[in-house]
Structure 1
């Protein structure tokens, strides 16, 4: 009788465990489980944290807010930076944070993303509440598009006033870096070589270089930067430009991936960042 009861108990426990549905799981770059609090301790020791997000992922945006709050609890010298705001919108963003203008002005006069209210407003409101700097780091999209259409040298034709919103020219671009090389190949449809097709990768590099430039220009304490996962994965993109300019910086990267199962980190998702957030592939999207 006791044996039967024990067996029944084990069946119940196994069934309960099978019903657990974690919304995410954290891993080190080697694929080992890591606790959230341990990650926060590591982030708090950094000079720059790059948060590589999936733009439409609800868990990513919730975690970004939690990480910012928990880092602020131990480092009140936070600076938040955003790919989602273009550098020439800094004056409008700053005016909103200091209460000079209302939110309606921010929404109408800055080039805010369509998912701003759901996904980035909580971070901006945290910055406003805690009086933290929030930095618009991205190159104005019209200049990234100019590079895509006419090549990197087209930036030299811009007036000096416009060049203030771009990393200092000339921008070094290494198209042999795996991320850029892959992007160039994709944009070429696998047909090799035309320089105009490589401009897709060059325009992304200009974004990376500009984001790195404004991170360095505005770094006072711990700079936490929010960007698409592509821009910092495999320690390339923004990371490459930061290290070129300031090799002494302690940079920690976070990267998000979606998997059918998050029990283990898939091999292809290992070594892409210092910390990897694995999220179920069927997680709710914000748009």
Structure 2
């Protein structure tokens, strides 16, 4: 699936997380609201009452995935019940995900399912999947079929058939405002060599990904009052103008955003993220 994350770095709209190169991948976090450094234990304590925890990544950065796993382990150790929502597989792959988690499917077979949809290395993600399997944590595919996202990216939402739109959330459109989000999208598109005329389609595709993943996450949260969800996605979907925007507009669920840190921490505001993780 096409990802604008690398270009997003160049826009300097936000930075992301702390990741240590040790076994304990996360030791401290930076709380954006009051610019305070806190321990991992304190971070987990502050997340206990949160419905949706979004942990952003740059897909090809192994340390980001180590940090995600460290946060998942800490939440699990604290006795918090949660599912893991993933951008890396679509909702249609849920039967294959469940079969792997239950042991009905061999790891090699599930790896093929993963690699057929997601272009980034299985080795970056496998430890997260195996931890979920061993600890009996639900994993939920949040994304949409690859063919649908590709069609929207090249031809726009109007190109979708009734059958294709039937399973998608309603009222998807590209929001134009002064928040800087449009500058990010335009910069990402142009840096990938696309013509300006493709901008609206690209914007619609981003809106579709964000809203579809938010709706799938909300469906998961509605299944139980004691259930939380930890969402693993690219930084461009995890920041507050991505998936969280649609959580806020369509539900009362409480969410918090954790991003990886790259650059000057002072450039991050509470309108972008709640926490950063750093070395």
Partner of 2:261, secondary structure, is strand
Partner of 2:242: 237
Partner of 2:256, secondary structure, is strand
Pick from 10, 28, 31: which aligns with 1:28?
A: 31
Partner of 2:204: 202
Please give the alpha-carbon distance, in whole angstroms, between the structure 2 residues aligned to 1:116 and 1:99: 22
**Over 6 Å off, 4+ runs:** none
8 A contact 1:212–1:242 mirrored in 2: yes
Pick from 83, 86, 104: which aligns with 1:82?
A: 86
Please give the alpha-carbon distance, in whole angstroms, between the structure 2 residues aligned to 1:57 and 1:185: 24
Partner of 2:230: 224
8 A contact 1:44–1:222 mirrored in 2: no
Please give the alpha-carbon distance, in whole angstroms, between the structure 2 residues aligned to 1:185 and 1:116: 28
**Residue 150 of structure 2 corresponds to residue 138 of structure 1:** no
Please give the alpha-carbon distance, in whole angstroms, between the structure 2 residues aligned to 1:62 and 1:131: 19
Pick from 123, 126, 132: which aligns with 1:118?
A: 123
8 A contact 1:79–1:135 mirrored in 2: yes
Please give the alpha-carbon distance, in whole angstroms, between the structure 1 residues aligned to 2:166 and 2:126: 28
Please give the alpha-carbon distance, in whole angstroms, between the structure 1 residues aligned to 2:178 and 2:212: 17
**Residue 24 of structure 2 corresponds to residue 47 of structure 1:** no
Aligned residues: 245
* 1:39–1:73 Cα change, 3 Å: same
Partner of 1:178, secondary structure, is coil
Please give the alpha-carbon distance, in whole angstroms, between the structure 1 residues aligned to 2:155 and 2:174: 16
Pick from 203, 210, 213: which aligns with 1:211?
A: 213
8 A contact 1:184–1:198 mirrored in 2: no
* 1:163–1:94 Cα change, 3 Å: farther
8 A contact 1:80–1:133 mirrored in 2: yes
After superposition, residues 4-23 of structure 1 pair within 5 angstroms as none
* 1:258–1:140 Cα change, 3 Å: same
8 A contact 2:172–2:204 mirrored in 1: no
Partner of 1:170: 171
Pick from 101, 126, 144: which aligns with 1:97?
A: 101
Partner of 1:67: 71
Structure with greater contact order relative to length (CA < 8 Å, sep ≥ 6)? 2
Q: Which whole-Å deviations, capped at 9, do the CAs of 1:19-74 have from their partners, x for residues lacking one?
A: xx965752111432222111111122201101111222232211211111111122
Please give the alpha-carbon distance, in whole angstroms, between the structure 1 residues aligned to 2:277 and 2:259: 6
Q: Which runs of 5+ in 2 are unaligned?
A: 1-18
Q: Which runs of 5+ in 1 are unaligned?
A: 1-20, 260-264, 280-287
1:176 deviation in Å?
A: 2.2
8 A contact 2:174–2:203 mirrored in 1: no
1:97 deviation in Å?
A: 1.0
Specify the structure having the higher radius of gyration (Cα).
1
1:112 deviation in Å?
A: 4.9
CA RMSD of aligned residues (A): 2.5
